[in-house]
Structure 1
Amino acid sequence: MRRMKPEQYVKRILDFACQRDVSDIFFLPQKDKMIIKMREIDGIHDYQLLEADFAVGVINYLKFTSDMDISEHRRPQAGARNFNFRDQVVNLRLSSLGNYSNKESLVIRLIYPLRQLTQNELNGQQWQDIMNQRGLILFSGPTGSGKTTAMYQLTKKYSQHKIVLAIEDPVEVIEPDFLQIQVNKRAQMSYADLIRTSLRHRPDILILGEIRDEESSEMAIRAALSGHLVISTVHARNKFAVIGRMMELGISQRELHSVLNCVIYQRLILQTTGIVKAYRDVLLEENLSQAIQIPQSNYSDWQTMLQIDYKKGLLDEQTYQKYKTG
């Protein structure tokens, strides 16, 4: 390991991660070592234990190539760079932070190109009709659940001859057919500022990476009310909790009745067949209207969906127990 240069090691570990569709790589300091862990679809796995001095060289190389300050080891930093894998560009988002003893940790998030996973796409006349409406579509699910991929796939499939504008922080998926704008707080380009500006560009469809506060939720509703189709994500534990979360962010039931077309809660789950399936719990039409009128939070529909595949043998007991509450 000591004979290998940091840049050689970085290429090796990134090649390995991309081959396995790893979503995150963790460099975590221990007493006199550095352990590397990787997040895959079935959980977090140990990858390797490095000598501390070699690990510092690897982290410094990653920071240097990501426009981060290699002399700063305690304060949090963020950076970005690309990695070429099999003629495709994988975007890397880096975050570093020192612990109580000034030993630095680093996390790399890997953002892959938009993939055509046909078995996971939202297909059918129903989705065609939804995409032809004005209003608001909300996706929810934890980090790594494929929300952004689903938003882009759905939009790309049903946006022929339409202008699509996407606002993200940061841009995760590069899509040449869309006008993509990145939040830049230093340049006073917040979500709300960019939404206001974007409406003057008269897009047919507006993609917002995330509704995260009262200001962005208000601007998303305003955009939907002004005649646009807005597609975004919001953090919630199930499809019903999405409505409650929007109300916590200051959106009234009347406004939700006026603009909300669809809510999708999503998780990517590894089946016993080795296939990763996007499980989606959807609120539409009458069920959506009832959920807005009487806010609730339960997992019955989600659990029923998982139980069907559990009984078919597509999910094992451990997987079912892990995901049954969303």
Structure 2
Amino acid sequence: MEAAIRYHLGIDVGGTKVALRAEHEDGTVRETGFRWPPAADSRPADAAADLALLVGHVREMSADAAGEPCGVGVAMPATLDASGVVTAWPNRPGWVGTDLVGVLGTLFGTTRVVCADDGDLAALAEARAASRADLLYLGVGTGVGGGIVLDGRLLPGPSRGSCEIGHLVVDRAGERCDCGRRGCVQSVASGPAVLRRAARARGAEVSFADLARALADGVPWAADAVREGCAALATAAVGVSELLRTRLVVIGGGFAAGLPGFTATVAAEVARLARPGHPLPPVEPARLQGLSSLRGAVLLAKESHV
């Protein structure tokens, strides 16, 4: 009997959607995904219902993959402890206490399931895609995530936790972040933060499509709202560069990718913060576009597989 073709499975769990990618050893690739149902305004997301939905899609992907999994990597926006239990997730607080590794582990038997921060994994995937040993990745979506690769390795490293660049404070008097502090990068530059700022300036609700159209047309309320978010990202990027001398800044995430000129605006704000004798790194869009974390999850599955 011919042996089943093995594959590595990557799962990118986001605040609004989940993506799955199976890479077979023969080069075959399968991808699928789904969106979380909106949580009721009166209560946190139902973790049990979320997990049932996730498990159902993982089972469906595994059946379609028609092979044997030899490693599973999971990119998470939440904070997990060393054993894979969720300790904080502001966007879906009902998940706190969930043993994600345990839940997924029951589906795969002896196949190892490993979780890591989605921003860290995106940084690793972008570094590989760019053939760079040093870079800072900033992912802008429902929140602001990111990661740092230095000398080819993630900083601070899996054993010491994730790179929480979205929670660098850039404005002590700024708006309150989901984490409880004021003025975090995320409170200024995340997709929801930019949309709220645009709505205040416009005097009416603003959808992502509204913002993208208005930005393309050069409408002031849209340009100003986006520029403020980009300035916060640039401030964080310059601060990291001053400390670590990273050689490239990469801007990713679905929100950033969908807005015309977003990366160029961050680059302009970075250039504005330059000081004599200390050149700042170039700013480029993510090569993997919205798939950085997903590709990073597959890399985690491969590199954790023994």
TM-score, normalization by structure 2: 0.28
More helix per residue: 2
Is the radius of gyration larger for structure 1 or structure 2?
Answer: 1
TM-score, normalization by structure 1: 0.27
Higher RCO, 1 or 2 (CA under 8 Å, sep at least 6)?
Answer: 2
More strand per residue: 1
